[in-house]
Amino acid sequence: MGVLYLLSAGSCARKAGPRIVVEKNSEIVGRLPIRSIDGVVVGRNAQISTQTIFELIELHVPIFYIDGYGKIVGHFVNEKLSTTRLFRQLEIFRDPDRQLALSREIIAEKISNQRDLLKRYEKTVDAEKLELATKKLKQTVAKLSSFETLDELRGAEGLTSKIYFATFSELLDQNRWKWKERSQHPARDPVNALLNYGYAFLEREVRIAVALSGMDARIGFFHSNNGRKDSLIFDLMELFRQPVIDRFVLSLLNKKMIQPENFSSTPEECRLNEDGRIIFCTRYEEYMAKIYREYGDKNSRDLIVERVKKFSACLNR
């Protein structure tokens, strides 16, 4: 079971009986049983036949269309929306105290995750910078209960992210990978390009988990509900940025699984090239399937699904 990626120019997938035939430039590169596929990711320059789309939808297999940065531009996901859960989300959203309490839990967990990741490197990195950062992060978590508005909470989240990312150069081979600061859109260097690409993949994982939980992706609590994005998705992504994506990106870089030549750079931006995207997707699926003892002998994908279900259940408190 796994995810089928159709990202290369000239790649396409078509249905042939109970299988999907994958081609590139009209040459067959693989045949997969349809029922062995957990999801499909399609790039801008790839194609998937209508018959294949119908079959996948009928089997409730999610299909995502992404751009060259990994960002989702459209999707087919079998949502199991619960009216009861929708009303509960709206009820909490209209209650400022409850909304603040849920947001506080999310941000407290995110900051703790930032601290935990940095502490993983304390034995291998000789840097007072790490120790100081983890101390500041711990102090901020202790202060969250005193915040009375979402704006205060958002300010704390922004500050801790700056503290956290200010340490990133200490976690990398600085002769190989240069890091100045977090840059999102556009990414200015390979490390930021990988983080952006990884967070786009995380959005896909969280969307699937939210769909399975019966929650409405549009109604979040921490991020603004302005109609331009599905706020709940971005709320819940905060729980997994460090333990899933940052951990993976640092592993890719420090174990030299990806190289500087796997990126394309201009004065304006840096992004993965086609070879880099192939490496990323291959390693990502291996990583997401790996069992971790600290996750209760679960893999990262299962961790996301179970944590989102737990969040969904807490709405009924």
Q: In what order do the strands lie in the sheet with 37-42?
A: 2-6, 37-42, 63-66, 72-76
- The pLDDT tens digits for 137-183 are 999 999 999 999 999 999 999 999 999 999 998 999 888 898 989 98
pLDDT the model gives residue 185: 83
- The pLDDT tens digits for 88-125 are 889 988 999 999 999 999 999 999 999 999 998 887 77
Structural domains in the chain, sorted by start: 2-76 (3.100.10.20), 83-314 (1.20.120.920)
Lowest-confidence region among 114-123, 164-173, 220-229, 269-278: 220-229
Specify the DSSP element, H or E, that contains 305: helix 300-314
Q: pTM of this prediction?
A: 0.90
| Mean per-residue pLDDT, 177-206 | 93
Pairing of strands 27-33, 19-24: antiparallel
- The pLDDT tens digits for 59-82 are 999 999 999 888 899 998 877 777
Contact (Cβ atoms closer than 8 angstroms) between residue 309 and residue 299: no
Pairing of strands 270-272, 291-292: unpaired
Residue 130 vs residue 227, higher pLDDT: 130
